[in-house]
């Protein structure tokens, strides 16, 4: 399978240097399992000052990223990127999900556009057929950190990057809900014991316990994710709800 190619359009390519060299992501790039190329948007500005932003029409604070250099930077990738998937990192975009990551990881290439200032001229997305994506409801200075989040998430979907892919399949959100609680040695720490079920070695029972505890955690923290559950998960949800509704010892039902 050909390596996934990711092109990043940014005004600050130097922000990527450290993260792209570290950990499993660095390994994926060194082994050719993933390709990440950085394009400096400013290189496509045509005036002597290499201007990439201007004051907003209609007035208001801040500056807006201009159409011409950004679109030129993207279209300059045509000989090595299909431009079929262009993602603009934006606080007003749809929320990033693991399902989106899995979909993008199956594609041959992707373009990530890192916004700055007050935003990007509205016409850029239309010119490039881009979609806007957000990594959360908070404010950052630009799209570089969100782009790194996406690159990291994509790298974990590529066979060979994570030694045991089963560990990826148990990650939170991989199967739609949060992950189960995890334990390692020692067996007891400050009066807290590793659950007995994990020490008994019955893998079928352990697997069911982990799924149930994952659903319990999701029910407590992110109940909105339970809409994605089906099959045996719905049985576990009913079981957990019955446990919640059960009277405490000494109470009258």
Rounded Cα distance, 33 and 27, in Å: 8
The one catalytic residue among 37, 42, 56, 118: 118
Sequential pLDDT tens for the chain (253 residues): 578 999 999 999 999 999 999 999 999 999 999 999 999 999 999 999 999 999 999 999 999 999 999 999 999 999 999 999 999 999 889 999 999 999 999 999 999 999 999 899 999 999 999 999 999 999 899 999 999 999 999 999 998 888 655 555 555 555 678 888 999 999 999 999 999 999 999 999 999 999 999 999 999 999 998 987 888 999 999 999 999 987 655 555 5
The one catalytic residue among 5, 116, 156, 216: 156
Q: What is the pLDDT of residue 174?
A: 56
Q: Are 102 and 157 in contact (CB under 8 A)?
A: yes
Partners of 86 in beta bridges: 111
Pick the CATH number of 4-155 from 3.40.1280.10, 3.40.50.2300, 3.40.50.1240, 3.40.50.1980: 3.40.1280.10
Question: What CATH fold (topology level) applies to the domain 188-245?
Answer: 1.10.1270
DSSP labels for 66-118? Answer: -HHHHHHHHHTTTTT---S-EEEEEEEEEEP-HHHHHHHHTSSEEEEEE-BTT
The one catalytic residue among 91, 152, 210, 211: 91
The one catalytic residue among 37, 131, 152, 171: 171
Q: Is 247 known to be catalytic?
A: no
Q: Are 225 and 177 in contact (CB under 8 A)?
A: yes
Query: Phi and psi at residue 75, in whole multiples of 5°?
Result: -70, -20
Q: Is 223 known to be catalytic?
A: no
pTM, 2 dp: 0.85
Write out the residue limits of the CATH 1.10.1270 domain(s) in the chain: 188-245
Q: Is 121 known to be catalytic?
A: no
Write out the residue limits of the CATH 3.40.1280.10 domain(s) in the chain: 4-155
């Amino acid at each position: 399978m050909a390596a996934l190619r990711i092109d990043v359009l940014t005004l600050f390519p130097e922000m990527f240097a450290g993260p792209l060299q570290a950990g499993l992501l660095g390994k994926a790039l060194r082994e050719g399992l993933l390709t990440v190329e950085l394009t400096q948007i400013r290189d496509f500005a045509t005036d002597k000052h290499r201007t990439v932003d201007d004051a907003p029409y209609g007035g208001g604070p801040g500056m807006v990223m201009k159409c011409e250099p950004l679109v030129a930077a993207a279209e300059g990738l045509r000989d090595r990127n299909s431009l079929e998937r262009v993602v603009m990192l934006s606080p007003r975009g749809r929320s990033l999900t693991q399902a989106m990551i899995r979909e993008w990881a199956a594609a041959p290439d992707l373009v990530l556009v890192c916004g700055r200032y007050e935003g990007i001229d509205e016409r850029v997305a239309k010119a490039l057929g881009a979609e806007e994506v957000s990594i959360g409801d908070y404010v950052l200075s630009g799209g570089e950190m969100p782009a790194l989040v996406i690159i990291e998430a994509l790298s974990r979907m590529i066979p060979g990057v994570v030694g045991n892919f089963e560990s990826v399949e148990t990650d939170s959100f991989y199967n739609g809900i949060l992950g189960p609680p995890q334990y390692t040695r020692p067996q007891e720490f400050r009066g807290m014991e590793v659950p007995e079920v994990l020490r008994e070695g019955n893998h079928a029972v352990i697997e069911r316990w982990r799924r149930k505890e994952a659903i319990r955690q999701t029910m407590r923290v992110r109940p909105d994710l339970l809409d994605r559950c089906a099959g045996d998960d719905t049985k576990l949800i009913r079981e957990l709800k019955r446990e919640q509704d059960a009277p405490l010892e000494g109470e009258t039902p």
